[in-house]
Amino acid sequence: MPRVRRRRRFGSRTVIGGLAILAVIYLVAGPLLMLVLTSFQDTSLGLVIRPPFPWSLQNYVDVFGDSGTYSAILSTLIFSAGSLLVAFAVSITCAWLVERTDLPARNAVFVLLVAPSGIPALILAISWSLLLNPNNGLINTLLRLPFGAEGPGPLDVYSLPWMILVQGMSLVPMTFLLITASLRGVNASLEEAARASGSGFSTIVRRITLPLLRPALIGALIYQFVTVVTALDVPLVLGLSGGVSVLSTEIYVASNPVGGLPNYGVSGTYGMFLLAVSLIPLLFYNRIIGRSQDYATITGKTFRPKTIALKRWKIPAVLFCWGYIALSFVLPMLVLLWASFQPYLGVWGLDALDRLTTAGYGEALGGAQFLDALRNTFVLGVAAALGGMVLAMALSWVIVRSRSRYRALVDILAFVPHALPGVVIGLSTLVLYLILPIPIYGTIWIIVVAMATQYISLGTRLTTAGIAQIQVGLEEAAETSGAGGRQIWQRVLGPLLRPVFLNGFLMIFLASIQNLTLPLMLGSNDNVVLSTLIWRRWDYGDVTGAAVLSVTMATITVIAATLLRRTTGTRGL
């Protein structure tokens, strides 16, 4: 009798895992096949989606025979390394201060560190362009004022160092959330034992905390590395104006030429190269996850992380956190707020105070178009986040717990969408649902499907590290007590993974509502969302309207982050 019951449990888990794998294959196969198809096809006269295909290797000859490609690769590597250094230095420090210390107002710090993710990277880059434009940027104007200096400068935002700083700051909210959930799950008793043995703070962090966080840190590093190398917003706004070209801008220029037809073959070739570069570090990550029980810290014993008193380091910690918040969130928001109350963005000065008006809010937020976009945005964010996280949880269980020799392949398959340029996913989804008899073309649901595909990897980076921290003995004990697969998920894995799931839900929600590429590729008059509405305003030259909508989106983010903190964090300040 027990043997029959064990087979049924094993079978239910196998079915769930099998369905999850089939779902990710369905979602990923289209974009991946489209990428391969376009890279080996002559698309000078347009993209061919039915045989006979004009197969050719000319795209690879053109791309890798051009010296400009290698210059773009070098710029991409410098841009990526610098951005990741900024993002992880800030995120690890702030995550530890918020989760483990008596930092004053740490809940407010949590919310305001996450809040900038509600500002689309395009708008963040534009706000920094308004702040540091060498000719009339606000900060440059203020710096020149005491000396009566004229001319451009002294700072130039259209340069690689400022691209690195702005991109690094844009990565911090997601990196911070990826780290905090796992840091919250590290068993503090291990650190306490080391402290009782006489180990100092630096030794405990170096020998215990950071090694136990290794799956989460490496997963976040790989995910954000791909985020940087495929990022378009900051390189497009700040890089092209300063003559700095990276691989993502090369893809954009090939797909959106000033004149002539888009060359999807060249953009697909660049995409194949980015895919190969992105998958190499994933192989190392799979070796870490293969030894996941070495990092398991959540056991059947209760534990409560001890709050560490900062003492004389409290003031420097407060200055660091709030100084960064001022730089990454307050300054850009002030610029957007200022622009939202101006009928037009003119010269900075006291004369502009006479132009202050709220007319932009009434015009931008009062129409039916805004209400439709707001409703579509919430549907998109919630549906993509829920679908993405449920699928990610099932896939991560297969990756971490199954003994299949193909689990590394499943992880790679789940990671592939993140390595694909958004324009490729958007284009392939568009073509796929023009062919398939599924009536979602032109609706919000086609964007939901594409967005869930795009962010499967974001969910698995978080849930894989979360499941790896849970000792498999807890599941085995529940199974020995007669619990089935559904009960194990409901009573063991579900409660322990609740902070991870909520963090992941928030991250995918925020990433989905600010994503611009997919809604633009798949947009119609019936599925307009806030990000496309912002872009339309900016593209039409309506700076005020774009600023109003950006402030609205940032407000939504603050509310979402506050709700998350109240659900998963501490109540007190």
User: Could you give the percent of the chain with pLDDT greater than 70?
Assistant: 75
Residue 55: strand, helix, or coil: strand
Determine which of 15-19, 37-41, 130-134 has the lowest per-residue pLDDT on average: 15-19
- Confidence at residue 297, expressed as pLDDT on a 0 to 100 scale: 47
- Confidence at residue 300, expressed as pLDDT on a 0 to 100 scale: 47
User: Could you give the percent of the chain with pLDDT greater than 90?
Assistant: 8
Residue 470 φ/ψ, nearest 5 degrees: -95, 125
Picking from 522, 291, 289, 272, the residue whose alpha carbon sits closest to that of residue 416 is: 272
Give pLDDT tens digits for 453-470.
888 887 887 787 777 767
Q: Is cis: bond before 52, omega within 30 of 0?
A: yes
Q: How many CA atoms lie within 13 A of 241 on its CB side?
A: 17
Distance, in Å, from the CA atom of 503 to the CA atom of 463, rounded to the nearest integer, reads 10
- pLDDT band per the 50, 70, 90 thresholds, residue 16: low
In the block, which residue shows the tokens 């958007």? 426
If you average pLDDT over each of 240-244, 328-332, 568-572, which comes out highest?
328-332
* More confident site: 307 or 5: 307
- pLDDT band per the 50, 70, 90 thresholds, residue 295: very low
- Confidence at residue 306, expressed as pLDDT on a 0 to 100 scale: 65
* More confident site: 268 or 571: 268
Q: How far is CA 459 from the centre of its chain?
A: 10
Give pLDDT tens digits for 226-280.
778 877 778 887 887 788 888 888 877 777 676 666 777 887 888 788 777 777 7
pLDDT averaged over the chain? Answer: 77
- pLDDT band per the 50, 70, 90 thresholds, residue 400: confident
* More confident site: 441 or 49: 441
Average confidence (pLDDT) over 377-402: 86
- pLDDT band per the 50, 70, 90 thresholds, residue 3: very low
Q: Is cis: bond before 154, omega within 30 of 0?
A: yes
CB 275 within 8 A of CB 35: yes
* More confident site: 380 or 399: 380
CA-based max dimension of the chain: 89
Q: Report CA torsion sign: 63, 67, 72, 78.
A: positive
* More confident site: 517 or 258: 517
- Confidence at residue 259, expressed as pLDDT on a 0 to 100 scale: 65
Give pLDDT tens digits for 76-99.
999 999 999 999 999 988 888 888
C-alpha dist (Å) from residue 360 to 119, 224, 329, 332, 542: 18, 36, 22, 18, 10
Residue 341: strand, helix, or coil: coil
pTM recorded for the entire structure: 0.73
DSSP conformational letter for 239: I
- Confidence at residue 368, expressed as pLDDT on a 0 to 100 scale: 82
Distance, in Å, from the CA atom of 201 to the CA atom of 357, rounded to the nearest integer, reads 53
- Confidence at residue 141, expressed as pLDDT on a 0 to 100 scale: 76
- pLDDT band per the 50, 70, 90 thresholds, residue 294: very low
Residue 30: strand, helix, or coil: helix
CB 118 within 8 A of CB 558: yes
